Amino acid sequence: MKETRDIATPSRTKEILKKHGFTFKKSLGQNFLTELNILRKIVETAGIDGNTNVIEVGPGIGALTEQLARNAAQVLAFEIDDRLLPVLQDTLAPYPNVTVVHQDVLEADLVKTTGEVFTKDLPIKVVANLPYYITTPIMMHFLESDLPVAEMVVMMQREVADRISAAPGTKAYGSLTIAVQYYMEAKLAFIVPKTVFVPQPNVDSAILKLTRRPTPAVAVTDEQAFFRLTKAAFQLRRKTLWNNLLHAYGKDDATKAWLTKSLEEADIDPKRRGETLSLAEFAALSNALEANRG
């Protein structure tokens, strides 16, 4: 039996990095967690057990992967940095239920890869410490894929977590809030201080728990049009909804008439700002715009 000392302690992390001569790449946003209790709390928040398959993104040296492997049926980890492959081969050797794939998760065919790796048809959860610089694209890649992800428990910059879990009318509320909450229920689980990472980032992190809704939060006639509208509404943050819509769709008379009619039908005052509209109001406006499109 190979050694199974926990990876996520400051001394063991240091030892692993030294053994493999590993240096951090700033461009990949690498920050390794060295606090066991937080990792265990992440696994607990995600409700990982023997009836769960888990996808991890950016396993690093395997600190979270190890905790997932001890609880899950199978773990599939995507790692983009080829320098970490021999490290993971070493640190995760005691865990035969882990598969590390050397690939950028944004380029991965998630349905195909999970089909090849997971031997049992179990609920899939995404649990990861996401690199700050690419948090949003990774989350949207999972949400927009055909992979039936039941839940995501992901660590990210606290500010991004606040934006995703925000309510209408708050400063943090925006098109990202809507894009995620359309698919998932978002709840900020807990804060992770910057002091428990090597190297230490500049800001605190947060664990966000996202649970897939059985159906999207609102019914829209055209999803692409809906997301285009929500992006447009926040384009110029301090401007009214009307100004943002003109900026996005055009200022000619026909467009103005189309927008005016649709806003009236959706019962939305054009002088409001985008951040005051709920998901339901955005859906009503999007559906009215589509119905009145010439």
Binding residues for S-adenosyl-L-methionine: 31, 33, 58, 79, 104, 129
Residues that constitute the known binding site:
31, 33, 58, 79, 104, 129
Burial tier of 76 (Cβ tally within 10 Å: 0-12, 13-18, 19+) = buried
| Cβ contact 99:73 at 8 Å | no
Sequence-separated (6 or more) residues with CB below 8 Å from residue 84: 22, 59, 60, 61
Residue 102 in 3-state DSSP? Answer: strand
- 124 in Cβ contact with 149 (< 8 Å): yes
- Residue from 186, 162, 185 nearest 174 by CA: 162
> What is the rounded CA–CA span in Å between residue 199 and residue 196?
9
Instruction: Tell the residue number behind the tokens 């990876």, with chain if given.
Output: 7
In this structure, the chain runs to a length of 294
- What are φ and ψ of residue 150, in 5° steps? -75, -35
Spatial distance between the Cα atoms of 291 and 117, rounded to a whole number of angstroms: 44
Instruction: Tell me the two tokens of residue 14.
Output: 């240091």
